Amino acid sequence: MDDSRIGSRFYFIAKMKDQIPIDLVVTGAKILTLDEHFTEYDPGVIHIIGNRIHHIGPDDAAQQAVKARRILHADGRIIIPALFNSHNHAGMSIFRGLGNDLSLDGWLNHFIWPAEKRFISPETVYIGSLISMMEMIRSGTGTFSDMYFFEEEVARAADKIGMRAILGEGVMDFPTPSHPAAFATLRHTREMFNEFQDHPLITISVAAHAPYTCSPDVIRKAAELAKELNICSNIHLSETIKEVETITSRYGKSPAKYLSDLGFLGPQTVAHHGLYFNDEDLDILAESGTTTATITNSNMKLGSGSLQLKKLTKKGIHVSIGTDGPASNNHQSMIRELQEVARVQKVIYQDPTVITPPELLKMATINGAQGYGMGQQLGSLEVGKLADITIIDPGGPHWYPPFDPYNTIAYAMHSGDVESVIINGQLVMEQRVFPNIDEEEILDQFRKISQQIRQEIHQP
């Protein structure tokens, strides 16, 4: 091929590239991509076509000629990948502030489970989940993993507001508000998988509640379903000393060994909490590729204990971050959560070097995505990945002096500094306003539900 033909071919390709319609261009911000090399662009630009990042790089003079359906000027802002909340029970916002100062066991048996029996319905899950989603998006989260009841209502709420969600109907041995038995819940999980497999925002997971609430037969069937459908699974694991004692006396082994022997653990499984792993447990988790989600605030509030980060990372176990439900945390901000993870770990080890701010941000983004088998799609800002982006306004006094944005995010940022959030290429919050929902109407419905709950359980 002669040179002129090569030249004309390049010209043709360049013209073709020019003609690809760019849906959204975000310009002018400092971009922390959180890719493998922690690449930064300052100022940087992101081109979005459909729901994916088509281009990311320096915001230089060549960008002046770019034509797009919409240009979002984010001069002086900081952009990070939208945060990934590895564990939630979003609908539990209706119980926030009730049943406090109890141990996990007392809280579940004497408060939460009776309250769920009485008040959890498709309507309360829908409204309660929307309230949590508003709080999550307002603090920069793009994806959350949920384990609760009437998950089709959580899907409806996520679809409405435009949030990405991994949804698992909670599987337990005993009747739940939505199903009479564990096998009915697993059937429902399969139905939800069939219903939502092409949905752009919803991913279905198998969500077994915990080793102490799921018999061996149920855990085995749950693991088989996850493998058959090739979907992720998640479970509470080693959350309290009582759980370890209960499982050891029932089965003669630790909770992690119990799950491992039944085939539940694996590279698409996320185990929440993980406070009381022994050496064998750590080997089991590392060898199986299971991710552990630290749920730090809930563990502190319920007085359960603390995950020991160094023990896990030394074994090469991925650790991500989740908030847990709003009734045991009691907030839904991944910003607050990651900040407290850093502080708690430094206290536990009396060692300020135990984690750095960039590592912390990875725990709150890519580690969560990898745990649920979505690391190729989410968790960092790279060409070809889904366009889930958080835009932060560093204008507040706590951002000054602006030496290091990672450090400010880890130790000083407020959740309210999140200005706008893009999920799946769509602005689902712009200047702190949700374009897809009527916020006042939802708050009004939520107030009515919470008033009724308070009246019925005689709390002021």
Q: Which residues bind Zn ion (CB under 5 A)?
A: 324
Least distance to Zn ion, CB of residue 325, Å: 6
CA distance 335 to 356: 15
CA distance 92 to 111: 12
Residue from 165, 100, 135, 77 nearest 334 by CA: 135
Least distance to Zn ion, CB of residue 210, Å: 9
When the beta carbons of 303 and 395 are compared against Zn ion, the nearer one is: 303
When the beta carbons of 324 and 417 are compared against Zn ion, the nearer one is: 324
When the beta carbons of 242 and 315 are compared against Zn ion, the nearer one is: 242
Least distance to Zn ion, CB of residue 324, Å: 5
When the beta carbons of 63 and 145 are compared against Zn ion, the nearer one is: 145
Q: Give the distance from CA 144 to its chain's centroid.
A: 3
Determine the residue with CB nearest Zn ion: 324
When the beta carbons of 243 and 324 are compared against Zn ion, the nearer one is: 324
Least distance to Zn ion, CB of residue 84, Å: 16
CA distance 148 to 326: 12
Least distance to Zn ion, CB of residue 236, Å: 5
The owner of tokens 């043709």 is: 12
When the beta carbons of 299 and 390 are compared against Zn ion, the nearer one is: 299
When the beta carbons of 135 and 324 are compared against Zn ion, the nearer one is: 324
147-to-123, 210, 272, 331 alpha-carbon distances in Å: 17, 11, 11, 17
When the beta carbons of 226 and 293 are compared against Zn ion, the nearer one is: 293
CA distance 457 to 460: 9
Least distance to Zn ion, CB of residue 298, Å: 7
208-to-34, 61, 87, 228, 437 alpha-carbon distances in Å: 31, 53, 13, 16, 31
Least distance to Zn ion, CB of residue 95, Å: 13
When the beta carbons of 281 and 324 are compared against Zn ion, the nearer one is: 324
| The pair of three-digit structure tokens given for residue 258, joined into one six-digit string | 């119990």
Least distance to Zn ion, CB of residue 89, Å: 6
Least distance to Zn ion, CB of residue 301, Å: 12
When the beta carbons of 43 and 371 are compared against Zn ion, the nearer one is: 371
Burial 235-248 (b: 16+ CB within 10 A, else e): bbbbbbeebbebbe
Least distance to Zn ion, CB of residue 106, Å: 16
Query: Across the chain, which distance is largest between two alpha carbons, in Å?
Result: 86
